[in-house]
Chain A
């Protein structure tokens, strides 16, 4: 039996900014259903790599394939509508209610209106939030609405660019669990960009470490923790590991 094409694959993809390679000949295949964390320091190219998956950026070299099809030949608007996308600054439309924000992807695609109450319930918000304006919500609530909007596209591929970046640790942890839970329940393929290795290790099936535009580590959390994913990965893993040990020492 032939193996199904990966939900998303990069084939020797490069992206240049002013002559320097932000993404340097990355090849990576992500099978359907996987939860992948893209980890790296600022400027490692992880966000750029992600944004090439829904044509917010175009590669300067190589190919990006979705379900085996090169997206360079597809209408960017169609590609984006077939993708759930949320990012750090959320970007809720300030002149639309929560319900209008969540319904927007379906409205753009010409589908019947979405059940807003169910969409809010999915991300852990009460149904009466539907009529509120974004400015009336806390940062965590806005992030939840952003995720609900991303899921409103009914796409199977969910791209998340530091979606919890600006949130407090408690909210961050709760939201992370919500996303992982939704990934499992809805059968999504999820790519989460984060600079927080602990978050990556706790949520993802697979952790891809980037540095200088290249993939320098690609392994399961278990392998990462065991130090089997190379030096770069080990250096990043060392931080939360050592913090955990120190915490244990304090607590006895």
Chain B
């Protein structure tokens, strides 16, 4: 728990930064809009309806929707708008924060005693004076209650920003969920809840001061909030040290490799930050845009995804073509393959006397295939089925945990597996070779952003990793994180892996 908590402070700062920026923007929009809505009830009901509608969109979906939207907008200005990270998170959270602010501003203004409003006109206030001297001070406590609600929601929803590449307290939550490391999840939750409670208490103090018309609570509440925000903003103002961003997709191997890369760059004198939990399609785009400086992807994923290729070519040719494609187009760099593959493969129990897919084809009609939920719909399955003429007695889809259990208990004789999965080693499974090379290659490759592609010191720090990680070592490291008992953090597994490969 202690190491999990130790990684929180920079995340709290960046979380607070995002939440406060979203709140600031929501106030900037919501306060005048609320005033207008209170003055023109017809317009008000339209605006409140729209804000309520936005509220019904799940936070995760709202964040995800901003990515294609910004990408589309960005295409009009030559890619000048970042579609990942801070901006989409800011916009989604701002929309989320609007409803409680609007609603309470309207309620606060509507709750003013009509006699007081009449008196304001009677003493000869201009509309501006009426607003400043009467309406704002009287509506402030109610509006403040809405601002409190919005702040708590925003701080909670900001954890979702992790999924679009903005570091927040969602980082430990999402990576903990993936690796089933509950102390990491708990640390993230505690951080977010603590932050929300602290901000809510301070805003409550301000609200009470406004309601009782006392200055001291307002000053204390606003003062402490300002100090907190200043602390969160301070790193931005400090002279910027070179920071490199290491990206990771959302599974254990990626978390471990990111930490391994980060440790090497740290040792080379770089300041390192992490963007973890990136979607598979999002990661490469983030690299090309420079939002991420370095990450590990898999040859086949890029080949069929970003490059749009459908043919299968030998490994050396594939890597050469990828390097050429990168140099010609997006200017990212293929630093090199790490030495192992994380491909779809078929695996059996040891001692079955099957070593290759060719061996399997002869015996398949008597065997049962257990596949993960995706495998039977994937092109890899179609490719090997055709190439080897595979026909099983029975085929069933399982979730990964149950798939391994089905193999162990004999319900399944062959399973689909990722070739670097730690459970292969732990269960002493046999990974079947592919003599006809029907499966595309999924070599893990280290990629660098266009800027880092020209950074010799950066590349030199990473080069020792090229070709240095055998699949056995990667499996062992993955297993340390994935196993049920004696789980390690990705950080610890990365340290182990780093030592294992330099021996």
Q: Is B36 an interface residue (CB 8 A)?
A: no
Residue in contact with A108 in the complex, picked from B125, B137, B138, B213, CB distance below 8 Å: B125
Q: Is B216 an interface residue (CB 8 A)?
A: no
Which residues, 96 to 119 on B, are CB-close (under 8 Å) to A?
Answer: 113, 115-119
A104–B134 CA distance with the chains assembled, in angstroms: 12
A residues in contact with B310, CB < 8 Å: none
Contact with B along A76-114 (1 / 0, CB 8 A): 011111110101011111110000000011001100000
- A56 with B122: CB separation less than 8 A: yes
Q: Is B126 an interface residue (CB 8 A)?
A: yes
A residues in contact with B113, CB < 8 Å: 89, 91, 94
A94–B138 CA distance with the chains assembled, in angstroms: 8
B residues in contact with A90, CB < 8 Å: 115, 119
Count residues of chain B with CB under 8 A from any CB of chain A: 19
- A80 with B122: CB separation less than 8 A: yes
A: contact size bracket: 20 to 34
Q: Is B129 an interface residue (CB 8 A)?
A: yes
Residue in contact with B123 in the complex, picked from A78, A81, A95, CB distance below 8 Å: A81
A to B contact number (C-beta, < 8 Å): 62
A residues in contact with B321, CB < 8 Å: none
A residues in contact with B484, CB < 8 Å: none
Closest B residue to A109 by beta carbon equals: B124
Closest A residue to B213 by beta carbon equals: A95
B residues in contact with A133, CB < 8 Å: 213
A78–B125 CA distance with the chains assembled, in angstroms: 9
A residues in contact with B118, CB < 8 Å: 56, 87, 89, 91
A residues in contact with B374, CB < 8 Å: none
B residues in contact with A85, CB < 8 Å: 122-123
Closest A residue to B119 by beta carbon equals: A91
- B115 with A78: CB separation less than 8 A: no
Q: Is B427 an interface residue (CB 8 A)?
A: no
- A91 with B124: CB separation less than 8 A: no
- Knowing A90-B115, A91-B115, the reply to whether A105 touches B121 (Cβ < 8 A) is no
- Knowing A91-B116, A108-B129, the reply to whether A54 touches B122 (Cβ < 8 A) is yes
Q: Is A153 an interface residue (CB 8 A)?
A: yes
- B116 with A94: CB separation less than 8 A: yes
Q: Is A63 an interface residue (CB 8 A)?
A: no
- A93 with B119: CB separation less than 8 A: yes
Q: How far is the CB of A82 from chain B (nearest CB, A)?
A: 8
Closest B residue to A81 by beta carbon equals: B124
A60–B117 CA distance with the chains assembled, in angstroms: 23
Residue in contact with A77 in the complex, picked from B116, B117, B125, B137, CB distance below 8 Å: B125
Contact with B along A41-63 (1 / 0, CB 8 A): 00000000000001010000000
- B126 with A77: CB separation less than 8 A: yes
Residue in B118, B124, B133 whose Cβ sees the most chain A Cβ within 10 Å: B124
Q: How far is the CB of B206 from chain A (nearest CB, A)?
A: 15
Q: Is A149 an interface residue (CB 8 A)?
A: yes
Closest B residue to A89 by beta carbon equals: B115
Contact with A along B127-155 (1 / 0, CB 8 A): 00100011001100000000000000000
A residues in contact with B134, CB < 8 Å: 93
A residues in contact with B125, CB < 8 Å: 77, 108
A residues in contact with B117, CB < 8 Å: 91
A77-B124, A80-B121 are known; give 18 further A-B pairs, CB within 8 A.
A54-B122, A56-B122, A80-B122, A80-B123, A87-B118, A89-B115, A90-B115, A91-B117, A91-B119, A93-B120, A93-B133, A93-B134, A94-B113, A94-B116, A95-B137, A108-B129, A149-B123, A153-B124
Using a CB–CB cutoff of 8 Å, the interface residues on chain B facing chain A are 113, 115-126, 129, 133-134, 137-138, 213
Would you mind naming 27 contact pairs between A and B with Cβ atoms under 8 Å apart? A54-B122, A56-B121, A56-B122, A79-B124, A80-B121, A80-B124, A85-B122, A85-B123, A87-B115, A87-B119, A87-B122, A89-B115, A89-B118, A90-B119, A91-B113, A91-B116, A91-B118, A91-B119, A92-B116, A93-B119, A93-B120, A104-B123, A105-B123, A105-B124, A108-B125, A108-B129, A153-B123
